[in-house]
């Protein structure tokens, strides 16, 4: 007989004395000993929930994101007005926006010609005339401030397995950029160029491509080349350019000078691909966004004020908590005092099982998380404790090509107290300064507990077959 | 007096470990009171009632150490000792504590996927126990549920799940079991044989299995079902499953069912299961009508051939200090209200204190207070029990005897037990106690002394 001893080690010792093989469980009360949460966990430990989760995982694991087109927000997003501003994270108001997000809003209002100065833009933003919406509620994702406005160019990513689409803006590169809250004239000038020349050329190139660009395949390859496709996109960016360059060269109306500018811009922007990685993850997860009873997380996002989460069993409902401080390595000249709280939609990558969940695949950036490849491996290994499956597509060479931990289960997070590990960039807390570092962050714990309680409340009474006490056995 | 508290957040230790650390602190020079516990609401209330200043904002995953002593130095030294002991994993951490590299086991889960267990031994606090038991049953394990304070509703739910899974759910509050020769919980080294036992599973089952051993018989399986199994509410779910398992067990030739008087319909079904065509010979021992001694005799088919030992007449207060609940109630049947019989294993006495089978200190304190009169006590041996209970009690017995107190004892155990029954008997006799062959004979001897 082999025994697992859960509780007093005393009993394990007594069994060992009899020569029995015993393992002592490293037990501690689940959910921090909170009986309300434990009752919710029990209520959600039913075959019905298991079935719903299996369905969610099947959808997520068969997701097949493909980049099919480039278009513009005014045409692609239903109901988009010139006065609509989409932003990262859960729904936000001007009053509570963090520095970077405010700056990006000001820039976007000037870009759209709704204001001719930052002061005028600020007055307009505060006037109530502007409709602020969360990207994720409209199939969109954007890094950092994540601001998408009427004239923003958007990548169109289609989930080939299910036909749903996700959108993201084009990455502006480093330095003073709108996504970090910069709104100086040259920032807007560059954005206009991206939204026009770069977007136009990419649209032409993609429309020449038969069947679009397979993002799932690019990400899978990049994970074997040292990227985790959130904080490191070096390899995948090169792969992107390799696939796109011939089509860009052939695209109508792109002369040699423009082609050189575009190739140079994309090729030297090492985080170019992060937006596409995010849209790929968004398209994959959105297919599973509404599955009654499921406890799988389908969306996580932050806006610098709050961290928000959605779960498949309660589609469209945000659970929010305060945006956290990032444990980061800072660029020279910056310190923690300069950092904005956690911001951006890029945590959609972790939600889909890459980014921080594939940290073990990206030893080159372990400096951001404390320095050693062992620590990186440990971070990823922990994530298997809170996920329900392993990706059949994305794998980690250092783990013997084990699939990345995929499908965060609200129940497992609450039970273990292990929070998702997120790789992230850090924005300066003031608009327009830019990125000041990169590091590691966790969501606030309350959003998982809140979602669990809401799921338990929504769950039908237990449907286990009931046998009467005096029925024959 | 100085009092100080230290809190270690986000850590968990089981109560046995914490009580052992408390006991160690209390033994430090200059320490007057010490408590080491998890910050559950119940524990904190208890801490407050005990007169300690309770730190604010504690969670059930915080360890709190409070010490009151005669001097600052003594308190500091005790706190330092507590830190040392806890950081070392308590006092003597169990086996398999360190998880394998990269595969830290999550809370409540078995240590690593490589270890495939057949049985889960669960002794976590009662409020958390149903979940652990459910997880273990769903993984296809038999469960021995030592934890108490599990509701009847949870017990019924878990037992139904066990039946669906074709597994055993022994308990709750199951103190002992023997499966395929392995003693679980507080179990004795009983000869293997052909007698299968189904019992509520406490010291009654231990006494019965030891008596079978002493009569030359042997035990195939001892399945504990928990004290409420044969109540109408639980409906004998596990008793019937255990009988079924024993009917099918090739090692079992005779089935012994021991129980408090069951509910009427449950009694009928139990009898029907035992009477089933092709069923094995059986002994059904209801403890209102038969004793454990009689059950053992019927099981082995041989008389015990023992009588109550001669005892001097006792005058004064008669006290029973039991570590076993069934042994205490058996004595009550013999003695009625002639003596004040206390089950020190009862929840009332074990809150914040280790079980009297592990920790003799409370019984020693009561013995030391006993004047002329009579004290009846049980010593229960076996795996998991105190390594030398007779030796620990001996000085107090000697003191009581010197004050003219008649001490009558029984020893539940076998020669194969780690403590060796004959050695424990000798130590008790040497201290001045009269030792009877069985717990029931000890009660009869006490009755004689009080007549």
Residue B404 C-alpha, separation from nearest chain A C-alpha, in angstroms: 38
Residues 6+ apart with CB under 8 A from B440: B291, B292, B293, B330, B331, B334
What are the chain A neighbours of B119 within 8 Å (beta carbons)? 1-4
Contact B110 A25 (CB under 8 A): yes
What are the chain A neighbours of B60 within 8 Å (beta carbons)? 29, 32-34
Contact B115 A4 (CB under 8 A): yes
Contact call for residues B92 and A13 (beta carbons, < 8 A): yes
What average pLDDT does this structure show over B269-283? 92
Would an 8 Å CB–CB cutoff place A46 in contact with chain B? no
Residue A10 inside a domain? The answer is no
Residues A295 and A273 in one domain: no
pLDDT band with cut points at 50, 70 and 90 for residue B106: very low
**Portion of chain A with pLDDT greater than 90, in percent:** 84
CATH architecture for segment(s) B2-87: 2-Layer Sandwich (3.30)
Residue B89 is predicted with a pLDDT of 61
Tallying the residues shown for chain B, one arrives at: 451
Residue from the list A2, A10, A11 with its beta carbon closest to the beta carbon of B117: A2
Do the domains B119-300 and B2-87 match in fold? Answer: no
Query: CATH no. for residue A204?
Result: 3.90.1710.10
Residue A124 inside a domain? The answer is yes
Q: Give the Cα separation of A308 and B198 in Å (integer).
A: 54
Choosing from A257, A278, A299, the residue where a domain stops is A278
What are the chain B neighbours of A377 within 8 Å (beta carbons)? 102
Contact call for residues B370 and B397 (beta carbons, < 8 A): no
What average pLDDT does this structure show over B137-163? 94
Contact B95 A470 (CB under 8 A): no
Residue A41 inside a domain? The answer is no
Contact call for residues A423 and A231 (beta carbons, < 8 A): yes
What average pLDDT does this structure show over B201-220? 94
Residue from the list A23, A33, A34 with its beta carbon closest to the beta carbon of B110: A23
Contact A5 B180 (CB under 8 A): no
Would an 8 Å CB–CB cutoff place A30 in contact with chain B? yes
Residue A375 C-alpha, separation from nearest chain B C-alpha, in angstroms: 10
Residues A308 and A273 in one domain: no
Q: Which residues pair with A270 in a beta bridge?
A: none
Contact B132 A469 (CB under 8 A): no
Q: Give the Cα separation of A367 and A267 in Å (integer).
A: 24
What average pLDDT does this structure show over A57-81? 97
Take residue B259 and report the two structure tokens written for it. Answer: 């129980």
Contact B418 A30 (CB under 8 A): no
**Does residue B93 have a pLDDT over 60?**
no
Q: What is the pLDDT of residues A454-464, one digit of tens each?
A: 999 998 665 44
Contact B111 A23 (CB under 8 A): yes
What are the chain B neighbours of A6 within 8 Å (beta carbons)? 108, 120-124, 132, 136
φ/ψ of B135, rounded to 5, equals -60, -40
Q: Which residue has better confidence, B316 or A432?
A: B316
Residue A307 inside a domain? The answer is yes
Lowest-confidence pick of A51-55, A327-331, B341-345, B447-451? A327-331
**Does residue B263 have a pLDDT over 90?**
no
Nearest Cα neighbor of A130 from A152, A149, A153, A154 is: A149
Residue A252 is predicted with a pLDDT of 83
Return the beta strands (E) in B14-129 as ranges: 31-38, 63-69, 119-122
Residue B87 is predicted with a pLDDT of 78
Residues A253 and A314 in one domain: no
Q: Give the Cα separation of A386 and A407 in Å (integer).
A: 8
Q: Which residue has better confidence, A191 or A10?
A: A191
Would an 8 Å CB–CB cutoff place A473 in contact with chain B? yes
- How confident is the prediction for chain B on average, in pLDDT? 88
Nearest Cα neighbor of B199 from B251, B247, B236 is: B236
What are the chain B neighbours of A28 within 8 Å (beta carbons)? 11-12, 61, 107-108
Nearest Cα neighbor of B229 from B176, B196, B267 is: B267
Residue from the list B60, B147, B183 with its beta carbon closest to the beta carbon of A29: B60
pLDDT band with cut points at 50, 70 and 90 for residue B98: very low
Contact map slice: A 86-145 vs B, CB within 8 A: none
Count of helix runs (H) and strand runs (E) in chain A: 16, 18
What are the chain B neighbours of A38 within 8 Å (beta carbons)? 127-128, 131
Contact A2 B107 (CB under 8 A): no
**Which CATH superfamily groups domain B119-300?**
Succinyl-CoA synthetase domains (3.40.50.261)
Residues A263 and A353 in one domain: no
**Does residue A47 have a pLDDT over 50?**
yes
Instruction: Report the domain count for chain A.
Output: 2
Q: What is the pLDDT of residues B328-350, one digit of tens each?
A: 989 999 999 999 999 998 878 87
What average pLDDT does this structure show over B20-45? 85
Q: How does DSSP classify residue A148?
A: B
Contact B105 A25 (CB under 8 A): yes
Residues A307 and A238 in one domain: no
Take residue B404 and report the two structure tokens written for it. Answer: 């003219």
Take residue A421 and report the two structure tokens written for it. Answer: 């590990």
- How confident is the prediction for chain A on average, in pLDDT? 93
pLDDT band with cut points at 50, 70 and 90 for residue B46: confident
Contact call for residues A104 and A179 (beta carbons, < 8 A): yes
What are the chain A neighbours of B95 within 8 Å (beta carbons)? 9, 12-13, 16, 22-24
Contact A33 B38 (CB under 8 A): yes
Q: Give the Cα separation of A232 and A217 in Å (integer).
A: 17
Cα four-point dihedral sign A393, A397, A403, A408: negative
Residue ranges of domains in chain B: 2-87, 119-300, 317-450
Please name the residue that has the structure tokens 């289960």: A409
Residue A39 C-alpha, separation from nearest chain B C-alpha, in angstroms: 9
**Portion of chain B with pLDDT greater than 90, in percent:** 63
Take residue B227 and report the two structure tokens written for it. Answer: 């004290």
The side-by-side arrangement of strands in the sheet containing B142-145 is A21-24, A2-6, B119-122, B142-145, B169-170
* Burial of residue A276, with CB atoms counted within 10 A of its CB: 0-12 exposed, 13-18 middle, 19 or more buried: buried
Residues A256 and A338 in one domain: no
Please name the residue that has the structure tokens 């505060």: A126
Residue B45 is predicted with a pLDDT of 83
B317-450 fold: Rossmann fold (3.40.50)
Residue A29 inside a domain? The answer is no
Q: Give the Cα separation of B45 and B64 in Å (integer).
A: 13
pLDDT band with cut points at 50, 70 and 90 for residue A470: very low
Q: What is the pLDDT of residues A347-390, one digit of tens each?
A: 999 999 999 999 999 988 887 766 788 888 888 999 999 999 99
How far are the Cα atoms of B320, B430, B439 from residue B373, in angstroms, in the given order?
Answer: 11, 19, 19
What are the chain B neighbours of A467 within 8 Å (beta carbons)? 160
The answer for B433, left when phi > 0, alpha when psi is -120 to 50, beta otherwise, is beta
How far are the Cα atoms of A110, A198, A365 from residue A82, in angstroms, in the given order?
Answer: 11, 22, 40
Residue A466 is predicted with a pLDDT of 44
Would an 8 Å CB–CB cutoff place A468 in contact with chain B? no
The side-by-side arrangement of strands in the sheet containing A343-344 is A319-322, A306-311, A297-303, A343-344
pLDDT band with cut points at 50, 70 and 90 for residue B110: very low
Q: How does DSSP classify residue B173?
A: S
Residues A80 and A139 in one domain: yes
The alpha-helical segments, DSSP class H, found in A44-98 are 47-61, 73-76
Cα four-point dihedral sign B171, B174, B178, B179: positive
What average pLDDT does this structure show over B312-329? 91
**Does residue B112 have a pLDDT over 80?**
no
Residues A81 and A54 in one domain: no
Lowest-confidence pick of B12-16, B187-191, B235-239, B367-371? B12-16
What are the chain A neighbours of B265 within 8 Å (beta carbons)? 470
Contact B94 A10 (CB under 8 A): yes
Contact B233 A33 (CB under 8 A): no
Contact A10 B16 (CB under 8 A): yes
Residue A417 is predicted with a pLDDT of 93
Residue from the list B99, B102, B115 with its beta carbon closest to the beta carbon of A26: B99
Lowest-confidence pick of A91-105, A201-215, B28-42? B28-42
Residue B103 is predicted with a pLDDT of 31
Q: Which domain holds residue A438?
A: 47-60+289-458
Residues A232 and A316 in one domain: no
Residue B335 is predicted with a pLDDT of 94
Q: Give the Cα separation of A26 and B109 in Å (integer).
A: 8
Q: Give the Cα separation of A428 and A176 in Å (integer).
A: 11
Return the beta strands (E) in A47-138 as ranges: 65-72, 84-87, 131-134
Residue A186 inside a domain? The answer is yes
The answer for A173, left when phi > 0, alpha when psi is -120 to 50, beta otherwise, is left
Query: CATH no. for residue A306?
Result: 3.90.1700.10
Strands B169-170 and B142-145 come out as parallel
Would an 8 Å CB–CB cutoff place A42 in contact with chain B? yes
Choosing from A278, A305, A335, the residue where a domain stops is A278
Residue A423 is predicted with a pLDDT of 92
Residues 6+ apart with CB under 8 A from B288: B260, B261, B333
Would an 8 Å CB–CB cutoff place A2 in contact with chain B? yes
Residue A36 inside a domain? The answer is no
Residue B101 is predicted with a pLDDT of 28
Q: What is the pLDDT of residues A108-161, one digit of tens each?
A: 999 999 999 999 999 999 999 999 999 999 999 999 999 999 999 999 999 999
Residues A237 and A329 in one domain: no
ipTM of the complex: 0.80
Residues A424 and A454 in one domain: yes
pLDDT band with cut points at 50, 70 and 90 for residue B392: very high
pLDDT band with cut points at 50, 70 and 90 for residue A276: very high
Residue from the list B111, B141, B384 with its beta carbon closest to the beta carbon of A14: B384
Residues 6+ apart with CB under 8 A from A157: A65, A66, A67, A68, A165, A166, A167, A168, A215, A276, A279, A280, A282, A283
Q: What is the pLDDT of residues B397-421, one digit of tens each?
A: 999 999 999 999 999 999 999 999 9
Residues A97 and A119 in one domain: yes
Residue A465 inside a domain? The answer is no
Q: Give the Cα separation of B433 and A326 in Å (integer).
A: 69
Choosing from A220, A243, A278, the residue where a domain stops is A278
**Does residue A471 have a pLDDT over 50?**
no
């Amino acid at each position: 007989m082999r025994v697992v001893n859960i509780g007093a080690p005393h009993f394990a010792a007594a069994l060992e004395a009899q020569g029995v093989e015993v393992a002592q469980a490293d037990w501690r009360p689940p959910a921090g000993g909170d009986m309300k949460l434990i009752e919710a966990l029990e209520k959600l430990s039913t075959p019905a929930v298991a079935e719903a989760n299996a369905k969610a995982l099947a959808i997520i694991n068969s997701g097949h994101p493909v980049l099919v087109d480039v278009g513009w927000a005014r045409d692609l997003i239903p109901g988009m007005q010139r006065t609509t501003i989409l932003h990262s994270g859960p729904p936000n108001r001007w009053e509570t926006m963090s520095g970077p997000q405010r700056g990006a809003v000001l820039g976007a209002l000037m870009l759209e010609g709704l204001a001719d100065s930052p002061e005028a833009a600020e007055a307009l933003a505060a006037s109530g005339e502007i409709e602020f919406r969360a990207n994720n509620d409209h199939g969109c994702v954007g890094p950092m401030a994540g601001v998408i406005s009427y004239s923003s160019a958007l990548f169109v990513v289609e989930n080939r397995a299910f036909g749903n689409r996700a959108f993201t803006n084009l990455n502006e590169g480093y330095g003073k950029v709108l996504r970090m809250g910069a709104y100086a004239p040259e920032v807007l000038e560059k954005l206009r160029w991206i939204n026009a020349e770069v977007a136009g050329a990419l649209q032409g190139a993609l429309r020449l491509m038969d069947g679009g660009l397979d993002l799932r395949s690019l990400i899978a390859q990049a994970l074997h080349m040292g990227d985790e496709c959130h904080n490191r996109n070096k390899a995948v960016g090169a792969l992107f350019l390799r696939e796109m360059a011939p089509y860009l060269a052939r695209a109508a109306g792109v002369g040699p000078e423009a082609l050189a500018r575009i190739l140079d811009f994309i090729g030297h922007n090492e985080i170019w691909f992060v937006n596409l990685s995010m849209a790929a993850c968004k398209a994959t997860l959105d297919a599973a966004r509404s599955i009654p009873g499921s406890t799988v997380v389908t969306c996580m996002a932050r806006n610098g004020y709050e961290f928000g989460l959605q779960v498949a069993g309660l589609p469209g409902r945000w659970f929010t908590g305060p945006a956290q401080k990032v444990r980061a390595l800072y660029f020279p000249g910056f310190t923690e005092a300069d950092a904005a709280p956690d911001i951006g939609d890029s945590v959609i990558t972790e939600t889909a099982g890459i980014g921080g969940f594939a940290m073990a695949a990206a030893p080159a950036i372990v400096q951001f998380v404390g320095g050693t490849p062992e620590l990186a491996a440990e971070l990823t290994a922990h994530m298997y404790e809170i996920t329900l499956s392993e990706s059949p597509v994305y794998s980690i060479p250092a783990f013997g090509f084990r699939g990345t931990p995929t499908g965060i289960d609200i129940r497992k997070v609450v039970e273990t107290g292990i929070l998702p590990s997120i790789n992230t960039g850090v924005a300066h807390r003031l608009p327009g300064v830019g990125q000041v570092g990169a590091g590691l962050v966790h969501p606030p714990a309350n959003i998982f507990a809140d979602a669990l309680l809401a799921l338990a409340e929504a769950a039908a009474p237990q449907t286990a077959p009931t046998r009467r006490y005096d029925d024959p056995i | 007096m100085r009092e100080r508290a230290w809190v270690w957040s986000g850590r968990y230790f089981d109560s046995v470990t914490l009580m052992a650390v408390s006991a160690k602190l209390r033994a430090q020079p200059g320490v007057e009171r010490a408590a080491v516990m998890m910050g559950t609401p119940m524990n904190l209330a208890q801490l407050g009632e005990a007169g300690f200043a309770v730190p604010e904002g504690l969670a059930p995953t915080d360890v709190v150490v409070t010490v009151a002593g005669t001097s600052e130095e003594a308190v500091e030294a005790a706190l330092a000792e507590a830190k040392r002991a806890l950081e070392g994993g308590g006092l003597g951490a169990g086996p398999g504590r360190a998880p394998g590299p990269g595969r830290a086991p999550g809370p409540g889960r078995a240590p690593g996927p490589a270890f495939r267990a057949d049985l889960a031994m669960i002794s976590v606090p009662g409020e958390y126990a149903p979940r652990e038991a459910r997880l273990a049953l769903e993984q296809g394990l038999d469960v021995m549920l030592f934890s108490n304070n599990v509701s009847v509703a949870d017990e019924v739910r878990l037992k139904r799940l066990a039946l669906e899974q074709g597994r055993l759910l022994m308990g709750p509050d199951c103190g002992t079991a023997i499966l395929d020769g392995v003693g679980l919980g507080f179990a004795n080294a009983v000869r293997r044989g052909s007698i299968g036992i189904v019992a509520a599973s406490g010291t009654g089952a231990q006494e019965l299995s030891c008596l079978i051993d002493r009569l030359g018989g042997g035990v195939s399986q001892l399945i504990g079902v928990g004290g409420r199994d044969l109540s109408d509410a639980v409906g004998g779910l596990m008793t019937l499953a255990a009988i079924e398992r024993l009917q099918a067990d090739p090692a079992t030739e005779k089935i012994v069912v021991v129980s408090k008087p069951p509910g009427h319909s449950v009694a009928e079904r139990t009898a029907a299961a035992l009477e089933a065509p092709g069923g094995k010979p059986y002994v059904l021992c209801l403890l209102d009508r038969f004793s454990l001694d009689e059950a053992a005799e019927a099981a082995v088919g041989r008389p015990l051939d023992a009588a109550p030992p001669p005892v001097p007449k006792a005058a004064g207060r008669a006290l029973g200090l039991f570590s076993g609940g069934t042994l205490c109630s058996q004595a009550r049947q013999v003695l009625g209200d002639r003596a004040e019989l206390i089950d020190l294993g009862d929840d009332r006495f074990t809150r914040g204190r280790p079980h009297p089978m592990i920790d003799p200190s409370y019984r020693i304190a009561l013995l030391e207070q006993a004047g002329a009169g009579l004290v009846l006590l049980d010593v229960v041996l076996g795996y998991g029990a105190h390594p030398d209970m007779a030796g620990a009690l001996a000085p107090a017995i000697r003191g009581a005897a010197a004050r003219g107190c008649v001490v009558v004892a029984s020893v539940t155990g076998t020669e194969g037990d780690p403590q060796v029954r004959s050695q424990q008997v000798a130590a008790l006799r040497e201290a001045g106690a009269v030792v009877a062959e069985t717990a029931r004979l000890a009660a009869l001897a006490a009755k004689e002394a009080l007549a």
